[in-house]
Amino acid sequence: MKLKAIEISALIALLFTVISTLSFESSCDGIREKVLRLHVIAASDSASDQSMKYAVRDELLRDGESIFRGSETLFQAEERIGASLDLLRRSAESTLKSLGCDYPVSVVLGRTYFPTRQYESITLPAGYYNAVKVIIGEGKGKNWWCVMFPPMCLPAAVKDSPSLDEILTDTEEEIVKGGKKYEIKFWFVEKYYELKEKFIH
């Protein structure tokens, strides 16, 4: 049975979309490999647990400012944060105790999945990123995240650390700052990872 012209056009359009998305995904992967994120997960969604999550966040960001000072590369930042995980855990638990809470805290450095998220004027594509994951108590509440390296969310600029536009290629920088221009492609990438999570993991 011969394909109608409209069906052929639709197939060609789909093919170009797939090829374009694969190229976009490759650039997105470059972004993921250059960023270190902080992921703080509250014990629950109660008002008190969410409030404590933000108190822990604020303390960890203050700690991060001194830990990352002088880090010029992601490798250096990860080495320093990796050596400071116990310090961060104790700092978080001390903050909770000062609020009258004895939740245990888990702090690990590893690969974590994030959906597409906007942070200030940039959009980070869905996928796996290196992240400092902080789990308070059972970790069943809403989370908070930011970019620790380059130090976009630390209380003050960390001396000698690069900015995001200094570590990304021109193509990668265009993607994170492209906003609505890449909205559909961001959607395709996120759906790809959702399906991958569902059927592979």
Sort strands 105-114 and 36-41 into parallel, antiparallel or unpaired.
unpaired
Q: What per-residue string of b and e applies to 67-78 under the rule 16 or more CB within 10 Å gives b?
A: bbeebeebeebb
Domain count, the chain: 1
* φ, ψ at 75 (rounded to 5°): -60, -45
Pairwise CA distance, residues 27 & 169, whole Å: 9
Mean pLDDT value across residues 54-65: 91
Tell me whether residue 179 is in a domain: yes
Tell me whether residue 183 is in a domain: yes
Tell me whether residue 154 is in a domain: yes
Residue pLDDT, tens place only, 7-38: 444 444 444 455 455 678 888 999 999 999 99
Residue pLDDT, tens place only, 90-132: 999 999 999 999 999 999 999 999 999 888 788 999 999 999 9
Pairwise CA distance, residues 164 & 124, whole Å: 12
Tell me whether residue 118 is in a domain: yes
pTM: 0.81
| Domain coverage including residue 145 | 29-191
Tell me whether residue 200 is in a domain: no
Tell me whether residue 171 is in a domain: yes
Tell me whether residue 7 is in a domain: no
Tell me whether residue 6 is in a domain: no
